[in-house]
Amino acid sequence: MSKKRFLLIGSAPYMPEWWARRGRALRAEGYVLAAINNAWRVPEEAPDIWIHPNDYYAKSPREMHPPAAAVERMWEVGADVYRDRYGAPVTYSRRHGGTMLLNALTCLLNISVTEGGGEIVISGCDLNYPAAGSHFYTGGTPDPLRAGVDWIREDLLDIHERQLPALRRAGHVLDVYNASPLLESVLPFPRI
């Protein structure tokens, strides 16, 4: 069984330019495109997977909702689905209510484990929020950092340094890469 290759994208301000330069090329190589929250708007076509919190429709402005035709083409993954169906073996503490980066990453890793292995390339999920423009769209907030960044960093390091090596020793082929153009990124994974 061949491993599944995912491209996980977020809402960093560089994403439209990054997509034009690198994202399209990765997509053409056969990567399954998974978008977090409003990142469904980055590519020209709807992503394959759209991962968002259960309250996305209730808490986001209507203009941030994908059109019905786009939703029909995506596998829409809400928090209950990935926690109930794909909640193990890769986990994180969910302190402070969790964050979409950790939710999406653990979901894709757990799908990869169940489907024979996988590779995840991540871009636009640095959790770097500069004062001038923290998202590619207007109105984004640094909500994931509401309780600081240290707990997120610790959970990402646990996944990278403890959980993934243990799964590899058990025979699972799992790789995670950081494709961000930023020097400062919370992601501890190797750069590509």
Identify which has the larger pLDDT, 145 or 186. Answer: 186
pLDDT of residue 149: 78
Backbone angles phi, psi at 70, to 5 degrees: -70, -40
pLDDT of residue 70: 87
Residue 120: both structure tokens together: 């995840």
pLDDT of residue 92: 82
Helix (H, G, I), strand (E, B) or coil at 7: strand
118-123/32-36 β-pairing: unpaired
- pLDDT at 42 > cutoff 60: yes
Asked if 126 and 13 touch (Cβ cutoff 8 Å), the reply is no
Q: Which of 40-44, 46-50, 105-109, 136-140 has the lowest mean pLDDT?
A: 136-140
Return d(Cα 192, Cα 189) in angstroms, integer: 9
3-state SS record for 169-187: HCCCCEEEEECCCCCCCCC
pLDDT band, residue 140 (cuts 50/70/90): low
Look over the chain and give the mean of its residue pLDDT values, rounded to a whole number.
Answer: 85
pLDDT band, residue 25 (cuts 50/70/90): very high
Q: What is the dihedral of CA 86, 66, 42, 60, to 10 degrees?
A: -80
Return d(Cα 25, Cα 83) in angstroms, integer: 31
Count Cβ atoms within 10 A of the Cβ of residue 40 and give its class: 0-12 exposed, 13-18 middle, 19 or more buried.
buried
Percent of the chain whose pLDDT exceeds 70: 85
Helix (H) or strand (E) holding 123: strand 118-123
Helices (H) and strands (E) in the chain, counts: 8, 6
Overall average pLDDT of the 172-186 stretch: 92
Q: Count CB atoms within 10 A of the CB of residue 85.
A: 12
Positive or negative: CA dihedral 131, 140, 32, 175: positive
Overall average pLDDT of the 89-110 stretch: 85
pLDDT of residue 152: 86
Overall average pLDDT of the 150-157 stretch: 90
Q: Give whichever of 60-69, 125-134, 164-173 has the largest mean pLDDT.
A: 164-173
Identify which has the larger pLDDT, 84 or 62. Answer: 62
